[in-house]
Amino acid sequence: MISRTDGIGDVVLTLPVAGLLKKEYPNVEILFLAQNYTRPIVECSANVDTFVSWETLVSVSFKERVKILESLKLDAIIHVFPRKELAKAAKKAKIPIRVGTSHRIFHLTTCNKLVNLSRKNSELHESQLNFMLLKPLIDNCFYEIPEISSKAGFVAPEKQNGVSEYIDKEKINVILHPKSKGSAREWGLDNFKNLIEILDSSKYNIILTGSEREGKAFRDTLAYPFPHVRDTSGQLNLIQLISLIAQSDALIACSTGPLHIASILDIYTIGIYPPIRPMHPGRWKPIGNKSIVMVKETECNKCRKSDICSCITDIKPDEIAKILQSLNFN
């Protein structure tokens, strides 16, 4: 069992762990423990055999949680995202191999395979850090970023109803995902607006994505003033969003889940990042082979305690447009 119970991007960057395990142990059965809302992401991976709901585990008593883990007959559990209540239950369930970082105090008493791993101070990318947790099981856990993406085994779902209507087969379909639900520094609505104004509407089909709440925040600026822009905010569930991304040509966003989805679907992604550690692209850039990162080459600490980061908002829309215009979509 691989346990990663946080966000979409985090889950995407953990899926290659399943691929590496399958490579080393071809007959292994992989269970992936995650939040229900990320289930479509997990189930798009050919390397994961079974999804296990985190909500199901935490909704029951400790005794019942242990019984559920016992019923799964696990040989090993890898705590990629540490959860004390899970670690204690896994020990009680007598899962033979329990892997966790030694930098969590509760792992010292609940895990029997400890990896000396500090994410905060590491120079490695998040996906590489996830691989390091396989040290007790695999001799060579270090891979360069270009080698990692293919191990996600990510396969686009069948085309979903209500999605193809947003795609224009006569144009280059570009998704703009302006918001981040507070998980990342944002480029700013004015920058996205200026980008829309720069891009030739006869050549580019612009599609906006986001939740209903995010749509309320950006529609007045990005959708209503531009009749040619297609606004999907609040209209798609996650599996539909994955299908939309798979049918598109490019996606532009900050460090968000959709950026990482686009990246492992092998469409062009332009990620806009701040240089601040640990939010910088060295840790969180998308891992696909068609991924491009925009970041100011500067030391920045002025914005660390602020939600607004001039190092990211100062990246010019015409810089992003030039990158997009230079790509080969044939």
Q: What is the pLDDT along the chain (330 residues), one digit of tens a residue?
A: 999 999 999 999 999 999 999 999 999 999 999 999 999 999 999 999 999 999 999 999 999 999 999 999 999 999 999 999 999 999 999 999 999 999 999 999 999 999 998 887 788 999 999 999 999 999 999 999 989 998 999 999 998 998 999 999 999 999 999 998 776 788 999 999 999 999 999 999 999 999 999 999 999 999 999 999 999 999 999 999 999 999 999 999 999 999 999 999 999 999 998 887 777 888 889 999 999 999 887 666 666 666 667 778 889 999 999 999 999 887
- 2-152 shares its CATH topology with 164-326: yes
Is 164-326 in CATH node 3.40.50.2000?
yes
The model carries a pTM of 0.93
Q: How many CB atoms lie within 10 A of CB 284?
A: 24
**Beta strands 50-53; 97-101: pairing state:** unpaired
Instruction: Give residue limits of the domains in the chain.
Output: 2-152, 164-326
**CATH class, 2-152 region:** alpha beta
